[in-house]
Structure 1
Amino acid sequence: MASLPLASAEPGMQYASCTANDGCTLAFQTSLPVGPGATLDARYATCVLLLHGFSGSSAYFTRNVGALADDHWVVAPDLRGHGNSGRSRGGYHVARLAADLRDLIAYLRTAHQSDDNNDDIQTPSEEAKLQIVPVGCSIGAAVLWTYVELFGSAEFSGFVFVDQAPLQDRSLFGDWDASRAHLGCYDEATMLAAQRAWIYDSAATHAELVRACLGYRYLPDPSTDDISDEAGRRDEEFFVGISRRCDQAWLAKLLADHTRYDHREAIEEIAVPTLVMAGRRTGCFPLEGMRETVRRVETSRPGGARMSVFEAGHWLFYEEPERFNREVVEFVDSCTT
């Protein structure tokens, strides 16, 4: 695939980057400056870390970053192989993305350290330890669950998981059937079909992704939906344009890894407050599948998790941004103050 121009940062954000332990460049948008010379700002004390979904980028959060950045530091990375981040020949594994996240977090925690040439630079840690609340959407949630399995949850003050069940495939273990698994990609046959579609019919696949992920497309409701044809075309162009930036074969390999991951036991290790957001009109998972995250957290932390259901689809942060932004801010404040 021919290389595409780098995407621009959202208004009020700026692009920065760090390097993964294998040398891959990890790009991210940040609402506050990073690196030497950044002056102390109270918002550095709490970081809302927005993780996009499969074939997406930080641009997904165009309707969210402004509101979330009013009182908090907002960081939205482009996962490896997505957006402005580097491409690698391998690395199409959820565990690799979790390792990248660990490198990014380490960078953010040290990005404001004073240097020998300016002793006046202060760091957020001089007033309080940086508190991080990640918001994992779709595969972004899977990256966080894998992070917990590999590295624990001590880095985080809370978790928000958006419209993702802890296992996509159907399974013999735990009665994980069609009532909980992914609606369209749930076994070897459907995964292979999805891989072929991403590689050989990517244009139609991008359009189908939009249909499955926007609630007003997947389950239209004429009595409540107020989306003009022109607005619908703009939405499709927006999301298709983001997906086109990825190498489709690389995405297909990542999909095979992602769909088989079983995160249910790892979720039981979460020891911080958890909010699960789900779209009632999502084309990806049944609500029962997403409720499993709440149940698993509460096996070891009763009352530690709750679920919020939106009248939207998989991209509920885009369809109901005001509610999404409000609930995220309220949750972040509740577990960091």
Structure 2
Amino acid sequence: MNYETCVANDGCTLAFQTSRPLSGSHGPDTPPIVLLMHGFSGSSEYFTRNFGPLSERLWVIAPDMRGHGRSSRTPGGYHVARLAADLRDLLAHIRRHTSVPIVPVGCSIGAAVLWTYVELFTASDFAGFVFVDQGPLQDRSVFGGGWDASRAHTGCYDEASLRAAQDLWVSDPPAAYADLVAGCLGYRQKVPSSAAAAEGGPLPPSPEQAAEDEAFFTRTSAQCDPVWLARLMADHTRYDHREAIDMIDVPTLVMAGRRSGCFPLEGMLETARRLNAVRPGLAKGEVFESGHWLFYEEPDKFNATTAAFVEGCSARAAGST
């Protein structure tokens, strides 16, 4: 993986990692692109356990969203819609070099960016979608049949909980980083049972590995401006993406962690349920035995499932042309 950059329409430099140089030769044997989109306060480095295996079968591109990783910091831009516009600029940059099918994998807020992209632009820019451990609405809501604690985010779901989260990120960033790690690593939620392990679920890591995990994710979050993140959080938690899901007309895979500390399974699987109600059979759900960062905790399953899905989407796209 190597870093390259492109420029957004407001001049912001957007960094991304790619397993193939965009300026290289891309013939008929060029594999489809899987576009790995990280979550809140993360970076493309989140996918350190996925780059190698996925690159054996796919062209992997992983952007750092504005305000994250190696991409530029801007005073504004703390809006999901701005991040969706950045994605459109990145996509235009990629399309100047290749026309292979692209399937984005949106993890956490990365999923919200994709839903917003669909609403503002079009789903047809992609051959399929993967949404990872994110519900279409973080806040609880009385609209749409009632969106309560059984579906909404477990920690940031109304004005009071948002304010508490913002205060923590602004006043005590190290505590916010620790809280993020505790909520996103599945083994910090529940100790996997012997039955889950027998079914292929991950075992708890050694104390040394657990400490390394926390240091890795904390170090990544610390690259961001915590005030900027707090403002992004306010925008993110208010978005209701449920109607945007109805606009998707390409194959969709929803991945959810059984031990996620962020959403109940019911909320995350709502995307597949809602899409199948509109277009039966277009979406499917896959439950992992880990947490919010399931791509990190169960990389083998994530890599194999993702590669097979992307290849299937690419074959479908080729067959429809």
Question: Structure 1 length normalisation: TM-score?
Answer: 0.89
Say which SS state the counterpart of residue 29 (structure 1) adopts.
strand
Matched, 1:313 2:286: no
Judge conservation of contact 2:191–2:204 (CA < 8 Å) in 1. Answer: no
Tell me which residue corresponds to 2:125: 155
Q: Which amino acid aligns with 2:169?
A: W
- Aligned partners of 1:268 and 1:181: how far apart in 2? 19
Percentage of matched positions with identical amino acids: 64
Tell me which residue corresponds to 1:75: 61
Q: Please report how far the alpha carbon of residue 300 of structure 1 lies from its aligned counterpart in structure 2 after TM superposition.
A: 2.3
Q: Which amino acid aligns with 1:268?
A: D
Q: Which amino acid aligns with 1:21?
A: N
Distance 1:43 1:26, change over 3 A: farther
- Aligned partners of 1:158 and 1:266: how far apart in 2? 15
Tell me which residue corresponds to 2:318: none
- Aligned partners of 2:231 and 2:183: how far apart in 1? 21
Aligned alpha-carbon RMSD (Å): 1.1
Counting only pairs closer than 5 Å after superposition, residues 1-337 of structure 1 correspond to structure 2 as: 13-35=1-23, 38-40=24-26, 44-110=30-96, 112=97, 124=98, 129-173=99-143, 174-221=145-192, 223=194, 224=197, 225-337=203-315
Judge conservation of contact 2:7–2:13 (CA < 8 Å) in 1. Answer: yes
Cα deviation code 1:6-44 (max 9, x no counterpart): xxxxxxx00000000000000000000123xx1235564
- Aligned partners of 1:90 and 1:217: how far apart in 2? 34
Distance 1:253 1:207, change over 3 A: same
Tell me which residue corresponds to 1:118: none
Q: Please report how far the alpha carbon of residue 249 of structure 1 lies from its aligned counterpart in structure 2 after TM superposition.
A: 0.1
Cα deviation code 1:130-167 (max 9, x no counterpart): 20000000000000000000001010000000000000
Judge conservation of contact 1:136–1:142 (CA < 8 Å) in 2. Answer: yes
Judge conservation of contact 1:268–1:298 (CA < 8 Å) in 2. Answer: no
- Aligned partners of 2:151 and 2:57: how far apart in 1? 37
Judge conservation of contact 1:269–1:300 (CA < 8 Å) in 2. Answer: no
Cα deviation code 1:185-238 (max 9, x no counterpart): 000000000000011111011011111100001112364424111000000000
Q: Which amino acid aligns with 1:63?
A: R
Q: Please report how far the alpha carbon of residue 45 of structure 1 lies from its aligned counterpart in structure 2 after TM superposition.
A: 4.4
Q: Please report how far the alpha carbon of residue 334 of structure 1 lies from its aligned counterpart in structure 2 after TM superposition.
A: 1.1
Across the two proteins, how many residue pairs are aligned to each other?
307
Question: Structure 2 length normalisation: TM-score?
Answer: 0.94
- Aligned partners of 1:195 and 1:17: how far apart in 2? 30
- Aligned partners of 2:192 and 2:95: how far apart in 1? 45
Judge conservation of contact 1:214–1:282 (CA < 8 Å) in 2. Answer: yes
- Aligned partners of 2:184 and 2:260: how far apart in 1? 6
Judge conservation of contact 1:43–1:72 (CA < 8 Å) in 2. Answer: no
Say which SS state the counterpart of residue 154 (structure 1) adopts.
helix
Q: Please report how far the alpha carbon of residue 46 of structure 1 lies from its aligned counterpart in structure 2 after TM superposition.
A: 1.0
- Aligned partners of 1:94 and 1:163: how far apart in 2? 17
Q: Please report how far the alpha carbon of residue 310 of structure 1 lies from its aligned counterpart in structure 2 after TM superposition.
A: 0.3
Q: Which amino acid aligns with 2:16?
A: F
> Unpaired runs of 5+ in structure 1?
1-12, 113-123
Distance 1:85 1:322, change over 3 A: same
Q: Please report how far the alpha carbon of residue 71 of structure 1 lies from its aligned counterpart in structure 2 after TM superposition.
A: 2.0
Runs of 4 or more off by more than 4 Å in structure 1?
none
- Aligned partners of 1:176 and 1:226: how far apart in 2? 33
